[in-house]
Amino acid sequence: MRLIPREGELLSAHCTLGVGGPARFFCEARGEADVIAAWRWARDRGVPLRILGGGSNVVVADGGVAGLVVKMVLRGLTARAVDASVELTVAAGEPWDDVVRHAVERDWAGLECLSGIPGLAGATPIQNVGAYGQEVSDTIVAVRALDREQGAIVTLGAEACVFRYRDSMLKSGAPDRYAVVEVTYRLSPGGRPRVRYADLERQLAMRGVATPSLAEVRDSVLAIRRAKSMVLDAADPNRRSCGSFFLNPVVAPDVSGAVEARAGDPAMPRWPEADGRVKLSAAWLIERAGFTRGQRQGPVGLSTRHALAIVCHDGATARDVLAFAHRIQGTVEERFGVRLTPEPVIWTA
C-alpha cells in the first residue's frame, strides 16, 4: 500500500497537555498493514518512527519531533471462551475506558479498578497501567506488536513483557523496538471485584456497599478519579494534564526510614512491596516539600485537586511543564533525599 504522510502536523492537538510542536511527518494507522507500511516508509527514508496513542502520557517538545509519527487508531474487540475464562482481544486504538466498560457490562472481572484511565489500549502493556489495586499485568496473556528489528508482526507472551511497577520490557527494556497493535486480556466471567485499596474501600463504605458488584466498583473508581480530576472532562479546569506526572518511588527499607526521619512523621504513607522494598507516596512527598494544590508557576501549576498532576493553562509550553517538573524534583530530593521519576514519556527532536 502507498503511504502519504501529512507534513507539519501540530502534536499539541493530539495530546492531553495541549502543548508541543509539529511532527515532521504524520499519519494514522487503521490496521496492521498501515503500521507495517509506516515502518517501511520511515526505514526507506532513514527517519525515526514514533508511535502515538491517546497522547495522555507524553510531553512533546515545543520544537516538535523529527521523523514519522504514527497515530494508532486501530479498532476492534473480540472475545473467546478459554476453559473457565474469557480472553478479550483488543486493538491498540480502542479507548481504554471503553474496554473496561465493555468487560464490566458483561460481568467479566479483572479490569474494573482500571476504570476512567485516559489513553488507548495499546499503551496499557507498555507502562503496565495500574490503579486501585489492579494492574493490566494481572490479566494480559499476549501482546501483538510490530517488531521493528524484524519488520514483522510478532506475539509476545506475558513473561516476555517482563512487567514491573508501571514498567515493562516494552517501555524500558526495548523502548524503540515494538509497536503494539493488539492486546489480549484473560478475564473471569462472574468473578468478584478486587477491592484492596483504602480509598476504594472508603468510597464503597460511604455508599453503603458491603459486597460490591463489578459495576459498583467501577462507579466508585470513577467517582474517586473525578474528585481528583483524573478523568478526561472538557469542563474541568484541570483537564490539560497527563494525570499523575510522577511515579510513586519504590525504595529500600533504610531509605524509607530516612525519609520518615526527615519528615518527622511516623504516619508517613508507605506500602511494603513483595521484593522487600517500600513504595512511598509521591503526592505526599510533593506536598510535604512545600507545594500546594493549585500552586502556579506562570502558565503551569499543580492541579487544584491532586498534587501529582501538572496542569497547563493558557499560554503554557512544554518548556514550562518541564521546568516546573524539574523544580518539584529538585525540591523533593533536597528535602527527602528521593528523586521522583516522571511517568510521561518526553519527546524531543
| 105-141 residue pLDDT tens | 999 999 999 999 999 999 999 999 999 989 999 999 9
Chain segment 142-163, per-residue pLDDT in tens: 999 999 999 999 999 999 999 9
Q: Report the catalytic residues.
A: 166, 244, 343
pLDDT(234) > 90: no
Cα separation of 269 and 280, whole Å? 6
In which residue ranges of the chain is CATH 3.30.465.10 found?
77-227
Residue 82 burial class via C-beta count within 10 angstroms: exposed 0-12, middle 13-18, buried 19 and up: exposed
4 Cβ neighbours under 8 A, 6+ residues apart: 27
Cβ-based neighbour number of residue 306 at 10 Å = 21
pLDDT at 132: 92
How many Å apart are CA 112 and CA 193, to the nearest integer? 7
Q: Has residue 231 got a pLDDT over 70? A: yes
Report how far Cα 329 is from the mean position of its chain's Cα atoms.
20
Ranges of CATH 3.30.43.10 domains, the chain: 6-72
Q: Output the nine-digit C-alpha cell for 287.
A: 506536598
CA distance 68 to 252: 41
Q: How confident is the model at residue 2 (pLDDT cuts 50, 70, 90)?
A: confident
Amino acid at 271: W
Model confidence band, residue 210 (pLDDT cutoffs 50, 70, 90): confident
Residue 91 and residue 99: Cα distance in Å, rounded? Answer: 10
pLDDT at 196: 83
What whole-number distance in Å separates Cα of residue 243 and Cα of residue 241? Answer: 5
- For the cut 70, the answer to whether the pLDDT of residue 1 exceeds it is no
Asked whether 61 and 348 are in contact (CB, 8 A), the reply is: yes
Distance CA 153, CA 158 (A): 16
Integer Cα distance of 45 and 37 in angstroms: 12
In percent, how much of the chain has pLDDT > 70? 100
Q: Are strands 345-347 and 152-157 parallel, antiparallel or unpaired?
A: unpaired
CATH top class, domain 6-72: alpha beta
Q: What is the pLDDT of residues 34-77, one digit of tens each?
A: 999 999 999 999 999 999 999 999 999 999 999 999 999 999 99
* CA trace torsion 242, 164, 97, 310 (10° rounding): -10
**Residue 32 binned pLDDT confidence (cut-offs 50, 70, 90):** very high
Question: Cα(88)–Cα(93) distance, rounded to whole angstroms?
Answer: 15
C-alpha cell at 281: 507516596
In terms of phi and psi (left: phi > 0; alpha: psi -120 to 50; beta: otherwise), the region of 277 is beta
Q: Is 3.40.720.10 the CATH number for 77-227?
A: no
pTM for this predicted structure = 0.92
Averaged pLDDT for residues 188-196: 92
Angstrom distance (rounded) from CA 346 to CA 300 = 17
- Note the pLDDT of residue 198: 83
| CATH number 3.40.50.10490 given to 250-347 | no
* DSSP states of 196-235: --HHHHHHHHHTT-SS--HHHHHHHHHHHHHHTT-S--TT
CATH 3.90.78.10 residue ranges of the chain are 250-347
Q: In this structure, are residues 20 and 52 in contact, taking their beta carbons and an 8 Å threshold?
A: no
Burial class (CB in 10 A: 0-12, 13-18, 19+), 188: middle
Residue 70, SS3? Answer: strand
